[in-house]
């Protein structure tokens, strides 16, 4: 019988966030395939886990998949871990998981910490749906497509960004999408954890010398194209207002604010359209 490939989530900062199940699996497998064996060694040492490790990162994944699969075929259990959080989510491992599935090998997730979920939960923008967009691309053409996807999301968007690009990315979103509400989380679960929340224009003033890893939640609202589109019909605005307040449970003020951003209007204009519709109903 072939072994099992365990996809193990590890702490995103605070080592106390490891689960009891994850520790048991890390102790019982024959091998741990780690994105950075030195970083993983700190976690293993903390909990006295003596399982051997092998490096498995984006630069060697293509040539190491075969060796890991061979061990799995021989009946050995293997754990896949990344530097932090859940493997394959903006981290290496997708190719190994895909080929293990194709080979009929059991792949078992061991859930745990996730920077995207942690940032969303504390952003004040959480709801039933959100869009995760990983890291923004650096190439101009790819970045343009990424921005289009963000602009058209119509719901809160979560993404990661490096410290040396966070200001540029927020400035570009501000130009392309508008002064949206944003929650920027830095060093999640670590000693210097920090949240900066507010309109992009305000948040930018508080990121003078950004350091650490950033997880960003941005409230795109119901936007599909905030620039160059024809003004929305009043009936459409009123219909969206009803859906936001009734179906999604937003307050009247928050729904008006979201609609104003989505349609490029002033909040007073949205309010006037809603009041006009109420008078017609009466």
Q: Domain check: are 199 and 255 in the same one? A: no
Check whether residue 74 and residue 121 sit in a common domain.
no
What are the pLDDT tens digits along the chain (282 aa)? 999 999 999 999 999 999 999 999 999 999 999 999 999 999 999 999 999 999 999 888 888 999 999 999 999 999 999 999 999 887 888 999 999 999 999 999 999 999 999 999 999 887 788 999 999 999 988 999 999 999 888 889 999 999 999 999 999 999 888 888 999 999 999 988 999 999 998 898 888 667 778 999 999 864 333 443 444 567 778 888 888 888 778 888 888 887 876 666 777 788 888 888 777 655
* Domain-embedded: residue 226: no
259 within some domain? yes
Query: Residues near 128 by Cβ (< 8 Å), separated by ≥ 6?
Result: 248
Claim: this prediction has a pTM higher than 0.75: no
CATH assignment of the domain containing 90: 3.40.1010.10
Give the domain extent around 43: 4-113
Domain boundary among 82, 113, 144: 113
**In-domain check, residue 182:** yes
Q: Same structural domain for residues 183 and 241?
A: no
Q: Is there a single domain that holds both residue 125 and residue 164? A: yes
- Number of domains observed in the structure of the chain: 3
Residue 240 lies in a domain: yes
Closest CA to 108 of 223, 259, 2: 2
- How far apart, in whole angstroms, are the C-alpha atoms of residue 222 and residue 136? 21
């Amino acid at each position: 019988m072939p072994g099992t490939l365990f996809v193990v989530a590890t702490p995103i900062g605070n080592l106390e966030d490891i689960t009891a199940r994850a520790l048991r699996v890390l102790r019982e497998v024959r091998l741990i395939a780690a994105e950075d064996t030195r970083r993983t060694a700190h976690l293993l040492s903390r909990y006295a886990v003596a399982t051997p490790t092998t490096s498995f990162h984006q630069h060697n994944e293509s040539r190491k998949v075969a060796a890991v699969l061979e061990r799995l075929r021989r009946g050995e259990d293997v754990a896949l871990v990344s530097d932090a959080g859940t493997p394959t989510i903006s981290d290496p491992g997708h190719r190994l998981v895909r080929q293990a599935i194709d080979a009929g090998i059991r792949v078992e997730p061991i859930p745990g910490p996730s920077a995207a979920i942690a940032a969303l939960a504390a952003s004040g923008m959480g709801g039933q749906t959100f869009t995760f967009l990983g890291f923004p691309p650096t190439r101009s053409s790819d970045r343009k497509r990424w921005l289009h996807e963000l602009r058209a999301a119509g719901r809160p968007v979560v993404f990661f960004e490096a410290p040396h690009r966070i200001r540029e990315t927020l400035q570009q979103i501000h130009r392309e999408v508008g002064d949206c509400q944003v929650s920027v989380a830095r060093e999640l679960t670590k000693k210097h954890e920090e949240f900066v929340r507010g309109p992009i224009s305000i948040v930018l003033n508080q990121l003078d010398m950004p350091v650490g890893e950033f997880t960003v939640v941005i409230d795109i609202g119901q936007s599909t194209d905030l620039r160059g589109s024809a003004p929305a019909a009043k009936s459409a605005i009123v219909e969206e207002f009803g859906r936001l307040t009734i179906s999604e449970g937003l307050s009247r003020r928050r729904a008006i604010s979201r609609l104003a951003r989505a349609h490029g209007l002033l909040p007073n204009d949205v309010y006037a359209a809603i009041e006009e519709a109420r008078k017609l109903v009466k």
